[in-house]
Structure 1
Amino acid sequence: MAQINCLAQHFVSNSTKFTAVFSSDLSRARITAEGVCHAQASPSDETPLRPILTRNLREKEHGSMEGSFWNASPPSPRPRDWVIPESKPSMRKRAEKFFDKHLLPLLMRDPHSRQNIAVVAHGIILQELWSYLIEIFTPPDTEVAPGICDTNMTTLHRKPVWSNTGYMTILITPNPTERNVLPTVIPNFAFVVLGIDDKRHLADLHRTRGGVGTAAHDVKQKKIDQFFQKATV
Structure 2
Amino acid sequence: MKLFLIRHAECEHNVGQASDNAKDPNLTDNGKSQVDLLARHFRDRGVRFTHVFSSDLDRASDTARGICQQQLGGRLLAPFQTSLLKEQYFGTMEGTRWQSAAPASTTGTPGTWQGGEPRYTGEESMASMRSRANSFLNDHLLPVVQNKPSSSNEEVVAIVAHGVILQVLWECLTELFDPRDIHLGPGVSQTDLGDYVQPTWSNSGYMELDVKQLPPAPTMLLAKSSRVVPVPGSVQTSIKTPGSLPFSGWAMTVMSVDNTSHLTGTQQVPRSGGAIRDTVHESRQQIMDDFYRLTGAA
TM-score in terms of structure 1 length: 0.78
Q: Which runs of 5+ in 2 are unaligned?
A: 1-31, 104-119, 219-240, 279-298
Equivalent residue, structure 1, for 2:71: 40
Percent identical among aligned pairs is 38
SS of residue matched to 2:193: coil
How far the C-alpha of 1:64 sits from its partner, in A, is 2.4
How far the C-alpha of 1:23 sits from its partner, in A, is 0.3
Equivalent residue, structure 2, for 1:76: none
Q: Is the contact between residue 145 and residue 194 of structure 1 (CA under 8 Å) also seen in structure 2?
A: yes
Taking the aligned partners of 1:29 and 1:6, their CA distance within structure 2 comes to 15
How far the C-alpha of 1:210 sits from its partner, in A, is 2.0
Determine which structure has the larger strand proportion and give its number.
2
Equivalent AA in structure 1 for residue 95 of structure 2: G
Q: Is the contact between residue 150 and residue 196 of structure 1 (CA under 8 Å) also seen in structure 2?
A: no
Picking from 106, 125, 129, the partner of 2:144 is 106
Equivalent residue, structure 2, for 1:136: 176
RMSD: 2.6
Aligned: 1:94 with 2:132: yes
Equivalent residue, structure 2, for 1:159: 198
The 1:3–1:196 alpha-carbon spacing in structure 2 relative to 1, beyond 3 Å, is: same
Query: Where does 1:66-105 land on structure 2 (aligned, <5 Å)?
Result: 66-71=94-99, 72=102, 83-105=121-143
How far the C-alpha of 1:206 sits from its partner, in A, is 4.2
Taking the aligned partners of 1:159 and 1:64, their CA distance within structure 2 comes to 25
Q: Is the contact between residue 137 and residue 186 of structure 1 (CA under 8 Å) also seen in structure 2?
A: yes
How far the C-alpha of 1:139 sits from its partner, in A, is 1.1
The 1:141–1:207 alpha-carbon spacing in structure 2 relative to 1, beyond 3 Å, is: same
TM-score in terms of structure 2 length: 0.62
Taking the aligned partners of 2:59 and 2:36, their CA distance within structure 1 comes to 14
After superposition, the C-alpha distances for 1:181-232 in whole angstroms (9 at most, x for unaligned) are: 2624531101111111111111124457722458xxxxxxxxxxxxxxxxxx
How far the C-alpha of 1:178 sits from its partner, in A, is 7.8
Determine which structure has the larger helix proportion and give its number.
2
**Which protein, 1 or 2, shows the higher relative CO under an 8 Å CA cutoff with sep ≥ 6?**
2
Q: How many residue pairs get matched? A: 203
After superposition, the C-alpha distances for 1:85-113 in whole angstroms (9 at most, x for unaligned) are: 00000001000011111100011122754
Equivalent residue, structure 2, for 1:18: 49
Aligned: 1:169 with 2:208: yes
